[in-house]
Amino acid sequence: MEKVHLLAGKRFLGVPLKTPNRMVYGELGRFPLYVNSTMRCIKYWLRLLNLEETRLPRQAYNMLLLMDKNGKICWVSQIREILCRLGFGYIWLNQGTLDQCLFLQQLRQRLIDEYYQEWYATIRDRDRYADYRMFKHFLHCETYLSCIDFYCFRVAFTQLRLNALPLNNNLHRYSENASLRNCVMCEKEVEDEKHLLYDCVMYTDLRENMLSSYLHLPYVSLLNGMNAKMSLCLAKYVFHAMKRRIDNANAT
């Protein structure tokens, strides 16, 4: 189900399937499905604790609890590990809590905080996210996703942010031959996103018509997505530039 969840997110964003999952979650402001599935398991555990001892589900739970105490791994063992890992071991020892609503709120927030720490550590430490972490600091849904109405332009802007455009630097990211990452028009210049926006001679006219008001801004400011008008202009430029690149490649 998590694979389907990620596939739907990547289809919505219009990025390749190999795009890092952390980037997809970051752009959409979503969390893995295990957050909700864990909450459902804990809610069911609390329901079992409130059942009378004569009920069969409660008797089955008592059997599983005894198996866990004897060192056998079962569903109850996973509940215990979740609670202890998240700092709620006292609730496991007490086999319940008086304020279930407050406990469930705290549990959900702790699950989200735990994932956010993992997400932030990955974004901060790995080279694949070197550009992304310059303008992406928090896990939240980006405003440009609702501001850019046209799908083709929104996809172009998203691919630009996630280093997912079909540029030579991205297509040959892991190639040992560094020359494959160069631009076919500009000799010895790496064809990356910055080269596309600021330098490549193939798109000089497009750059002057669509980005002349924003070229004085640094790369980070262009990609932060906070200015709706600027993001739309940038999205249009990237879309038409990539269309021209594909047409030139097909012509040759």
pLDDT tens digits for 196-235?
A: 999 999 999 999 999 989 989 999 999 998 899 999 999 9
pLDDT at 252: 66
The token duo for 101 is 């609503």
**What is the C-alpha separation between 93 and 80, in angstroms, rounded?**
9
**What is the C-alpha separation between 107 and 86, in angstroms, rounded?**
8
Q: Are 26 and 129 in contact (CB under 8 A)?
A: no
Sign of CA dihedral 225, 173, 181, 189: positive
Domain ranges of the chain: 1-141, 144-251
pLDDT at 184 over 90: no
Q: Are 143 and 229 in contact (CB under 8 A)?
A: no
Q: H/E element holding 222?
A: helix 219-223
**What is the C-alpha separation between 218 and 225, in angstroms, rounded?**
13
- pTM listed for this prediction: 0.86
Task: Kindly report, residue by residue over 123-157, the tens digit of the pLDDT.
Answer: 999 999 999 999 999 999 999 999 998 999 999 99
Amino acid at 101: C
pLDDT at 251 over 90: no
Q: Are 206 and 233 in contact (CB under 8 A)?
A: no
8-state DSSP, 195: I
Task: Kindly report, residue by residue over 33-81, the tens digit of the pLDDT.
Answer: 999 999 999 999 999 999 999 999 999 999 999 999 999 999 999 999 9
The rounded mean pLDDT for the chain is: 93
- Percent of the chain beyond pLDDT 90? 86
